[in-house]
Amino acid sequence: DVKVTQSSRYLVKRTGEKVFLECVQDMDHENMFWYRQDPGLGLRLIYFSYDVKMKEKGDIPEGYSVSREKKERFSLILESASTNQTSMYLCASSSPRGRTDTQYFGPGTRLTVL
Amino acid sequence: TQLLEQSPQFLSIQEGENLTVYCNSSSVFSSLQWYRQEPGEGPVLLVTVVTGGEVKKLKRLTFQFGDARKDSSLHITAAQPGDTGLYLCAGPEGGSYIPTFGRGTSLIVHP
C-alpha cells in the first residue's frame, strides 16, 4: 500500500520563526511536490523535485525553500514565517515509471502562523 | 487564469439524489484525473481517463472524458453521506507531467 507521510498534522508557529515541514514517501518515487491549499484558490504548486538534490520552482515559491537530500524525503522550509503563510500544506509524489499524471498525497499539515 | 474550471463550486443535496460535477478547459489534456478529498485529509485518486469519449464507472460514480479531451464530468447516482467531500479534477497540460488542478467542487450529502 502506497504511503506518503507528513511530519505534523497541525502546527502553530509565530511570525518570524523558521518552519520545517517534512514529507516522506515509501514508493521509491522520483517526483515529489509541495502544494498549499486555500479556500477558493485550490491547490497551488510551491516547489517540486524530480530527483535527489534537484528542485524546481512552482507557481508560488516566494517565501519558501526546499531540500531533497534523500529520494524518499522532501522538506519545505519557511525561512521566516508570516501570517499569510497560514494554510494547508500538502505533499505529493509520483513516478515517471508509472502514470506520471497520478499523484499520491500525504494527509496534509495545517499550519497556523500567529 | 484557471486552466481547469469546475462547476458547481458548492453542492448541498439530500441522500438519494443524483448529481453531476463538471470540469472544463479550453486546453486539450492527454489525461484527466478525479480526486476526492475528505476534510482534514489529502486528495485520493478516484480515476484517470485517457481516451476521448471514455466512460469509467466506480460503483455509483460515472466519469466521462469529452471527445475532444477538453472536459470531463463526474456523475454520482443515489448520493450517500459518505460521498461528502471535495472533488478535484486535474490534468497535465501539454507535455508536462505536473498536473494542473481545478479549484474543486465541495459536496455535502445530508442524511
The percent of chain B in helix, strand and coil, each rounded to the nearest 5, is 5, 55, 45
What are A96-101's contacts with CB under 8 Å, separation 24+?
A: A96/A30, A96/A31, A96/A50, A96/B97, A97/A30, A99/B31, A99/B48, A100/A31, A100/B92, A100/B97, A101/B30, A101/B31, A101/B33, A101/B48, A101/B90, A101/B91, A101/B92, A101/B97, A101/B99
Q: Which chain B residue has its CA at the smallest distance from A59's CA?
A: B100
Most A CBs within 10 Å, among B9, B38, B47, B103, to test the A interface: B103
pLDDT of residue B97 exceeding 80, the answer is no
Interchain contact A113–B (C-beta under 8 A): no
Q: What is the pLDDT of residues A73-114, one digit of tens each?
A: 999 999 999 999 999 999 999 887 656 668 899 999 999 999
- Give the type of residue at B46: L
Closest by Cα among A66, A12, A11, A72 to A34: A66
Q: CB–CB of B33 and A100 under 8 A?
A: no
Closest Cβ opposite residue B104 in set A42, A90, A107: A42
pLDDT of residue B1 exceeding 60, the answer is no
Q: Residues 40..99 of B with a Cβ closer than 8 Å to A: which?
A: 40-45, 48, 88, 90-92, 97-99
pLDDT mean across residues, chain A: 92
Across the range A37-52, mean pLDDT stands at 92
Q: SS3 of B6, please?
A: strand
d(CA B17, CA B30): 32
d(CA B102, CA B105): 9
Interchain contact A33–B (C-beta under 8 A): yes
Q: What is the pLDDT of residues B20-76, one digit of tens each?
A: 999 999 888 888 999 999 988 999 999 999 899 999 999 999 999 999 999 999 999
